[in-house]
Structure 1
Amino acid sequence: MADVRFEAVRKVYDNGQVAVHGASFDIADGELMVLVGPSGCGKSTLLRMVAGLEAISAGTLSIGGRVVNDVAPKDRDIAMVFQNYALYPHMTVAENLAFGLKLRGHGRDEVQRRVRTAADMLGLAGVLDTLPRAMSGGQRQRVALGRALVREPAVFLLDEPLSNLDAKLRHSVRTEIAQLHRTLGTTMIYVTHDQVEAMTLGQRIVVLNEGRVQQIDTPMALYRRPANRFVAGFLGSPAMNMLEGRLERRDDGQAVLDMGAERLPLGRPRLPEGSAGRAVVVGVRPEHLQPGTGEAAFAATLESVEPVGNEVFVNLRLGSRPLVMRLPPRDLPAPGATLPVAVDGAALHFFDSASGQRLEPAPA
């Protein structure tokens, strides 16, 4: 096992494209860290630099306290699981698991021990003589995991390993990866563009955008206190509602967001210092909008209802602005009806309109 440290790590390609802008963060020994962001944000590039598959343009990368900038991939004590299983089609499961160990010169008994241990851990003991083409996608991904597992590396690297699986299999294999990490206690770096995977798997999450680290924290800390508008909009499904306007505090203490054609009542939240008259973006999670009346209520047009089993997503419109509300299953008016909606003023997020950075509420 080993910690991983990025110190001002930068990646610039020959054509001048900057893929990673000076990333600096630590991954603790035994931690499962998730790198998440949209396509092209630099997450896979960071992973490939750890693996030694991409050269580092500047900065320092350390694994277990050893600088590895110029260390060959085979000497880094890492194992990587790719998106496309990369199994040898003419080899059985057992042969796929054992192949890398044999190349490294491990003895027969040691190879058999490691293959047996990995197969038992991943539920592959009954299919060791099976060829990949006769297996499901979930089984093949478990073989790919097993091939990394038998290496007994200091660091596991997983590059979007569930992207080729259907939704049910993704959930199943995701649970297995989490269990595997708890059992092994080995450092894991997991790359995904799926924020649900990131939230459910990561002990901590690195959110990236356009090659820059946006925020690093635990899943719920990111959800409850996003550092900027990008993080707020990226994490959460449905996404956070964003409304832009100027904040006002009325004489009676109530706050209002002046959006021009519409004025949104916000109740009596703690506003950021000096925010009166300031252009801001107000963020509100779908679960913090609810049908109701009161001083922080407004009338919205119900456009459509999306039942997804144990909850309902209600698509609304306030003037020209779309909103999404999350509710438990219930009877609702027909599309086109006007619905009174109340804002939970205590759960609002404020961001600067220009920079997108979070604005903290003034002390109580």
Structure 2
Amino acid sequence: MARVELDGVRKVYPNGHVGVAGATFEVADGELLVLVGPSGCGKSTLLRMIAGLETISAGTLRIGDRVVNDVAPRDRDIAMVFQSYALYPHMSVADNLGFGLKLRGHDRASVDARVREAAKTLELDALLDRKPGQLSGGQRQRVALGRALVRSPQVFLLDEPLSNLDAKLRMSMRVEIARLHRQLGATMVYVTHDQIEAMTLGQRIVVLDRGEIQQIDTPMALYERPVNLFVATFLGSPAMNVLRGRLLRADGWSLLLDDGGRVALGEAALDAGLDGREVALGIRPEHLQRAEGSGFAPVVEVVEPVGSDVFVNLRHGALPLIARLPPGELPTPGSTLPLRVEARHAHLFDAESGARIEA
């Protein structure tokens, strides 16, 4: 396996559109790194530049100790798994797994040995004689992974490989990929728009928006200390609530909302210089707690009990909110629900730039 190093890598299209604006980061040898962001943020473009399927406009890309900017895809020693399984329907699973090796001139004994090894790793042993049409979606995705696995590449590149699967299969395949990575110790770069996939799979995550890297860190570091409002609201399910207003320091801190409402922050340990500052206050749904007499009582719109949690969708004036509460007596739609903000869990961001305020 090998590390992947990007230094100022850019992609600018002929029409002037900047697909990726100067990406600089390193994927360590054996690391599973996830590129995540909304559609059009540049994550797949970045992956395709690593693969050699997109030309690099500027910057340097290294795989191992070799600069590969101008190296053909087949000579980069990478294997790519696409969103589409792209299996040959007339070939058996065994032939699909071994086809790429045959094209590269490997002898039959070597191909058979590698196919059997990959099939055992992915629990495809009993399916080797079947055609793709006889397989489930999860089994076909495992064959697509196995086709990359048999090549023993330096780097695995996975471009939204689970997006065609249903929710249950996606969950099981996430476990499958995590197990495979741990077993192989392989260097993997994984692209997804699904923040749950990113949080559960990535050892580190690169968050992108409009071609620019917003933050690179471990999943929990991103969740607990997002560098800006975009990262804060993109990661987390349900998404972070955002309250906009002005901080006031009088008998404890409070946030005077834009609509004139007030949210008490109690004895929040904030810098005195923030008094009167316009901010966006982020609070995750699990940190909105029931509190009688709080003075902050949004109206309940929809109640979603999901077993271990209850998601309560609320509205305070024009502001939508969601609280994650423990199961128990459920609030009634149309009623008000007094809430308090757990100030120690609140995140402050600049009202204009969205940058995190270290308070």
Aligned to 2:300: 302
TM-score w.r.t. length of structure 2? 0.98
* 1:272 CA displacement: 4.7
Aligned to 2:50: 50
Identity in percent: 68
- 1:253 to 2:252 alignment: yes
Distance 2:271 2:185 in 1: 42
- Residues 93, 273 of structure 1: CA spacing in aligned structure 2 closer, same or farther, 3 A cutoff? farther
Distance 1:33 1:192 in 2: 11
Distance 1:88 1:168 in 2: 25
Aligned to 2:191: 191
- SS at 1:255 equivalent: strand
**Partner AA of 2:58 in structure 1:** A
- SS at 2:118 equivalent: helix
**Partner AA of 1:95 in structure 2:** D
Aligned to 2:314: 316
Aligned to 1:280: 279
Mapping for residues 172-183 of structure 1, pairs under 5 Å: 172-183=172-183
Query: Residue by residue, what CA displacement relative to the aligned partner does 1:42-92 show, whole Å, maximum 9, x if unpaired?
Result: 000000000000000000011002110000101101000000001111100
For the aligned residue pairs, the C-alpha RMSD in angstroms reads 1.1
- SS at 1:339 equivalent: coil
- SS at 2:116 equivalent: helix
* 1:274 CA displacement: 2.1
Distance 1:268 1:256 in 2: 13
**Count of residues paired in the alignment:** 359
- SS at 2:84 equivalent: coil
**1:255–1:268 contact (8 Å) kept in structure 2:** no
Distance 2:96 2:163 in 1: 21
**1:282–1:349 contact (8 Å) kept in structure 2:** yes
* 1:254 CA displacement: 3.1
TM-score w.r.t. length of structure 1? 0.96
Aligned to 2:226: 226
- 1:339 to 2:327 alignment: no
Query: Residue by residue, what CA displacement relative to the aligned partner does 1:148-181 show, whole Å, maximum 9, x if unpaired?
Result: 0000001000000000000000011110000000
Mapping for residues 101-250 of structure 1, pairs under 5 Å: 101-250=101-250
Distance 1:4 1:357 in 2: 29
Distance 1:261 1:248 in 2: 13
Mapping for residues 24-39 of structure 1, pairs under 5 Å: 24-39=24-39
* 1:259 CA displacement: 2.5
- 1:351 to 2:349 alignment: yes
Distance 2:262 2:326 in 1: 28
**Partner AA of 1:53 in structure 2:** L
**1:289–1:342 contact (8 Å) kept in structure 2:** yes
